[in-house]
């Protein structure tokens, strides 16, 4: 794989070590959403049977997804809380059948609970995606360090039930950078080698704050970490356009393009084929910076 460019002012680390394999994130990639929940905001209830899960995973991989992010707990605003046992049951059911049928698939577990993360990695997941960055489970950081897997730390306040009322910031970007700096420092102390940041679009942020955040996404380069961005079919799109999540694919594509230009390394999406097209066009745009002599 090609080495990361050396002209980045902040020397952002753009590689991940996953199961001994080095992934170069200077070429953006796709993390595909696979919610095995009955109540997720867009695809809830669609992937709960073995055949539905396997058919969707095959489709996502065929279309070009690098990672499959398995979520068994809905984090939509106001979602119902479920027990650790229920979340674990859902997640492990999916992970077991995916690893059995697609042993080469790179699976992420989307959970803020260390017990679920631990069980999932032992069942084949190779990455932990935590929407609370350790805030909801004080054992998460130590657990991830012990597992030796990459970790996505997302910015959020409160929890899915309370976050919509926690959107008051004095200086949004400054507070978020400080938040991530503290998380990265603690994870480094514990020996976690690969940390990825996620600004958390839609989590404890108003629609206006989400767009401000997207417009200043490159501000997070100062952290020197790769970045995952999840904008797919979120309310900041469909509420702005006065449509529904079902009709928010075009808006998702538009904002994903901006996210890549602003420095996103991983796009977390429901629709892989369209996101792959965005990446191909972005790479054509980036590669056109060479002087063609015209």
pLDDT in tens, the chain (294 residues): 333 443 444 456 788 999 889 999 999 999 999 999 875 545 556 788 999 999 999 999 999 999 999 999 987 666 678 899 999 999 999 999 999 999 999 999 999 999 999 999 999 999 999 999 999 999 999 999 999 999 999 999 988 778 888 899 999 999 999 999 999 999 999 999 999 999 999 999 999 999 999 999 999 999 999 999 999 999 999 999 999 999 999 999 999 999 999 999 999 999 999 999 999 999 999 998 665 555
- The one-character DSSP state at 84 is H
Place of tokens 């479920």: 82
Catalytic residue numbers, as ranges: 234, 268
Q: How far apart are CA 149 and CA 190, in angstroms?
A: 12
Q: Are 107 and 95 in contact (CB under 8 A)?
A: yes
pTM of the entire structure?
Answer: 0.91
CA-based R_g, the chain, Å: 18
| CATH class (in words) of the domain with range 15-286 | alpha beta
Encoding tokens for residue 108? 């992420």
Of 255, 249, 251, give the one whose Cα is nearest residue 270: 249
Q: How far apart are CA 239 and CA 248, in angstroms?
A: 9
């Amino acid at each position: 794989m090609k080495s990361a460019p050396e002209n980045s002012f902040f020397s952002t680390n753009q590689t991940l070590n996953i199961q001994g394999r080095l992934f170069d994130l200077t070429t953006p990639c796709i993390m595909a959403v696979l919610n095995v929940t009955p109540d997720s905001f867009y695809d809830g209830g669609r992937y709960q049977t073995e055949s539905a899960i396997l058919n969707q995973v095959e489709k996502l991989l065929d279309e070009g997804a690098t990672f499959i992010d398995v979520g068994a707990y809905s984090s939509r605003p106001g979602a119902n809380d479920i027990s650790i046992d229920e979340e674990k049951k859902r997640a492990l059911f999916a992970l077991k059948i995916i690893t059995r049928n697609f042993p080469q698939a790179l699976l992420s577990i989307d959970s803020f609970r260390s017990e679920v993360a631990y069980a999932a990695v032992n069942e084949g997941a190779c990455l932990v995606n935590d929407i609370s960055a350790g805030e909801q489970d004080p054992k998460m950081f130590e657990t991830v360090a012990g597992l030796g897997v990459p970790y996505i730390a997302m910015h959020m306040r409160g929890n899915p039930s309370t976050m919509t009322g926690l959107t008051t910031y004095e200086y949004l970007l400054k507070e978020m950078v400080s938040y991530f700096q503290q998380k990265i420092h603690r994870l480094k102390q514990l020996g976690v080698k690969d940390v990825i940041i996620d600004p958390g679009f839609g989590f404890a942020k108003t629609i206006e704050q989400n767009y401000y955040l997207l417009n200043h996404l490159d501000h997070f380069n100062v952290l020197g970490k790769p970045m995952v961005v999840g904008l797919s079919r979120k309310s900041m799109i469909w509420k702005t356009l006065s449509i529904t999540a079902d009709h928010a694919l075009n808006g998702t594509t538009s904002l994903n393009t901006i996210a890549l230009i602003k420095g996103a390394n991983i796009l977390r999406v429901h629709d892989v084929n369209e996101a792959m097209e965005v990446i191909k066009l972005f790479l054509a745009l980036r590669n056109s910076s060479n002087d063609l002599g015209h």
